[in-house]
A and B are shown apart, each in its own frame.
Chain A
Amino acid sequence: MMMNRYSRKNMKRRGSKRTNKVIKENFCSSIESLPNELLTDIVARVASRSFKNFINVKLSCKVFDELANERYVYQKATLVDFPIAPWEKQTQEKISKVNSFMELCRECENTEALYRKGVLDYFKDDEAEVALEFLKRAENGGHVGAWYVIGIIMVFMGGEYKRKGVTLIGNMKETEKKLTRACRKSLIEILTEIWVTNPSVLEQRRPTGCNINNAVARMSGLVTLRMKMMDTPIFIVMLVVVTLKLLIYGNV
């Protein structure tokens, strides 16, 4: 990661022929008086809204190009322009570049990038420990969806973890019902975009080849998963809540 602060002495006020008129009108630009830290904040805000805008700002001058490499900018960059499972076939070069970009975002603690990696690591690659590490980092950075997925993974892990997972999701629902629903919707959207091959989720052996039977198995597994996700936490939470209410209020 480049951390050098570029000297702004090179930002000259003389206009080129094309922009002479505009430069003359605003010859004393206040943007030059802002310290790099504030300019980085501005670039980060742009990056958090639109990657295309971010590139256009990078192209505007050397200072912005340099500041665009700051860690904070990658931390805040939006990933909305990079679907998890793109519709169109991607060139190998693009796949490689997107992966490098995502890795850089993760290194800079971009919470959405960490969240996505956690979800993919568990639901696609059956790597619960690794997934939870990424999701914890996302949650530490304030990503609520990550907290929800941690709960879901714990439910699937069974045993002692299942109880903790149910409690986690139950608490979320109690305190932030709308937000919890949004987290669930977001996770389902991701899962419907990818194949789910995690045996503990599908409750069947990992497919060894890609044929019609496996595809059907995966699709039905996906439906089962979807129903499982929608029903298990809600059912158990309802059971817990009803039980608690019975205990507290003593009424049926």
Chain B
Amino acid sequence: MITLQSSDKDVFEIEQSILIQSGTIKNMVEDDFTFIPLPSVDTETLIKIIEYMKKHADKTDSKEKNIKEFDKDFMKKTLNELFALVFAANYLHISSLLELLYPSIADRIKDKITEAIRQIFSIRCDFTPEEERRIIMDNKWAHEGTEIEGTLD
């Protein structure tokens, strides 16, 4: 059994066989660590990561359909939750989770106009109108016949 400690100082005891899906944890286990502090991962995110690894630990054929259903539901989270998971999955080197997260995030902004993308990602437009116009003009060649919609009124 390995003990993980979140940034909020909550501890979780999990079987080694489940945790080795994380490249980072696997390396530490091979170096004989049994207590692994994770200062970059908060409790809420760590719970989700553990849930993911538990489900994916048993990859027999019969479970494959179950796992796919689980993955689909697992991605039904807020964007901020997904970003926290991307950060944690990257830190913990869980590539299968990253491969699930990136398309889910890209899907959220699929076919959205720029203003919608800003709202979804909660970012502010820091271009001047001239700069924005320049980018649209620079990339006009890729869009002849269709509109690129910025925030120009």
Contacts and interface: CB of A to CB of B under 8 A. Distances in A.
Contacts of A31: 79, 83, 121-123
> Chain A: interface secondary structure?
helix
A29 B118 CA distance: 11
Interface in A21-59: 22-23, 26-27, 29-31, 33-35, 37-38, 41-42, 45-46, 49-53, 55-59
Contacts of A101: 142
A53 B111 contact: yes
Given A31-B122, A55-B148, A45 B141 contact: no
Nearest to B146: A52
A37 B98 CA distance: 13
Contact of B121 (A18, A29, A50, A81): A29
Interface string B99-140: 000110110011111100111011111110000100110010
A60 interface: yes
Contacts of A41: 98, 102
A56 B122 contact: no
Task: List 5 A-B pairs, minimum CB-CB distance, nearest first.
Answer: A29-B122, A30-B83, A26-B122, A97-B141, A45-B106
Interface of B: 79-80, 83-84, 86-87, 90, 98, 102-103, 105-106, 109-114, 117-119, 121-127, 132, 135-136, 139, 141-144, 146, 148-151
